[in-house]
Structure 1
């Protein structure tokens, strides 16, 4: 009986480890679906912005708004509400109901997808939580993501409301806030997903490697913020040459508004120039990081990821240049936004790769 106890304990531990691994795999699949849905949501949001559709739904109905107009009378009611805002009177006064339906469906799809992501995240979270499949260390972070997602819904309406009274579009400040929160949710899900994935235990090439990887990820996020300001000001529709801007590497009149800081947020020329400079800084960072990894640890997984990351940034920069030169056609604009998310996502995963997998001793989840 005494000799059997160690065997029974070992078998029980093996079963618990297998269960924990299975639980991790299920959570990775769930978070992978959430990340894909968030990626799609941001792209639909970008298309909504590029088609000037974001103000087509003038009321915030978190529950009732799931159901679109189902009759001609309901379409007329929605169209009448749209006619009351400045965008209609100043930009679309010749629009028909049929034309209105086109912009309405873009905004409705964006809101419907956002609501569906709430369900995709919250319901499995509840199931995993109640069945004891979530490790203790992950509970607060996942609750935080859920809370941030709920807050994002409010931020979305706060953004839309800025364009319903005195403007024909939304505030670039609120647009940038809305996009950055979406990117934070996207990044947080990827961070946890990556931490639950098996890692190779290659040592970082230097003690600063993780700091550089973190800096690249934060710079990619900052570039997205700058891009949102460019979009909010329609700054990409002007100065459509590269590498020169307004005939110079450093154009004039960058700080013509007073106080000077306003130019960084409200002067389309300055905002576009800063976005260009941010791209150069990000490209330089990933190139230096790649070279350092290849020189110090050429066969490591870190070096291979650094090469991929550098290639992604080069591709994204090329898409950005084409988008600018072509004066932001919808397809190229959405592609540029998609590329930004891919770069951000890979940068987050690369950074997480230096941190390593969640420690094995905390994997076992007891019922």
Structure 2
């Protein structure tokens, strides 16, 4: 029989909660970095350097001169002053500092816990997967930034979507580990696993479409709801465009699908509520998801009709976290 299990569980729980807070924070900061067009302000990876911001004018001029070499400055921001550059620099620098903190927090506490409990408790190696994914995320982050440094004025929306998706994957994994750690009681009456898996699939697709839309600045067009400038399918695309792979580069198509998937998610949510009612499952299990989806829909509409006003767009992105985690809670309770 293991000893100090309660202490071990407590420390792991504290670590998992800390990681969730940090990951949610970096998603928020990352979204604001994107919305303020700050992501290309630091043109080198600086894996081990760049911990501190510039402290003198020579260093500021160095970073600014490097920024002047990329297409974003030459084509879009050629009138930018050094003071304006400092604003976007600090957004990206803050994003990278937070990423470094997450990297350290994903491994150092685990090593400490391992050293403390290795003699009397089996240490679950699954937690190291979080560290590996965080390292991979760092590489993908630079891979994304590099796509906007040579020929383009912005990063690839495919790489942006990959970067955000991995962040959500890490967050979901940590949240799942936390549910296991808390020993959340499973439902005795189960909801169909295939149904829940399809629901989860549409949630993931919706998050990816949202990233595509952000990367293509697709929220700046068709700022009406529920129609797209008076039509269900806008006139500048036809039905064949909706099934072309090349249309993944078309912001109109992406916005249409982002709207359409939202309606599908609503139908799934109504069905999920029906299952809870007919099976007699406690509605407390689904209340947070209902509220999260309702708020997310309202925020999405407001973000659209305001032409992607930063404060609404940022909250809308964070809202997707609440939707995903509240659904994962239901998903977990219906697993064996």
Please classify the TM superposition score into its range, dividing by the shorter chain length. over 0.9
> 54, 63, 81: which is aligned to 2:48?
63
Shift, 1:103, TM fit: 0.3
> 249, 262, 281: which is aligned to 1:266?
249
Shift, 1:259, TM fit: 9.1
Within the alignment, does 1:306 sit opposite 2:290 as a pair?
Answer: no
Q: Deviations over 1:230-282 (max 9, x none)?
A: 0000000000001001311222343576992111x101100000111111111
Question: Is the 8 Å Cα contact of residues 237 and 327 (structure 1) preserved in structure 2?
Answer: yes
**RCO higher in structure (CA 8 A, sep ≥6):** 1
Shift, 1:213, TM fit: 3.2
Within the alignment, does 1:222 sit opposite 2:202 as a pair?
Answer: no
Task: Flag the 1:127–1:215 CA change in 2: closer, same or farther, 3 A.
Answer: farther
Alignment partners' CA distance in 1, 2:154 and 2:165: 19
Task: Flag the 1:23–1:115 CA change in 2: closer, same or farther, 3 A.
Answer: same
Unaligned runs of 5+ in 1: 1-12, 357-367
What is aligned with 2:159? Answer: 174
Unaligned runs of 5+ in 2: none
SS in 2 for 1:61: coil
Within the alignment, does 1:348 sit opposite 2:320 as a pair?
Answer: no
> 76, 99, 105: which is aligned to 2:90?
105
What is aligned with 2:225? Answer: 242
Shift, 1:57, TM fit: 0.2
Shift >4 Å, 4+ stretches: 133-137, 255-259
Alignment partners' CA distance in 2, 1:39 and 1:132: 29
What is the 5 A alignment of 1:282-321?
Answer: 282-298=265-281, 300=282, 303-321=283-301
Structure 2-normalised TM-score? 0.94
Alignment partners' CA distance in 2, 1:137 and 1:296: 38
Report which stretch shifted further, 339-348 or 100-109. 339-348
Alignment partners' CA distance in 1, 2:121 and 2:46: 35
Larger radius of gyration: 1
RMSD of aligned Cα (Å): 2.0
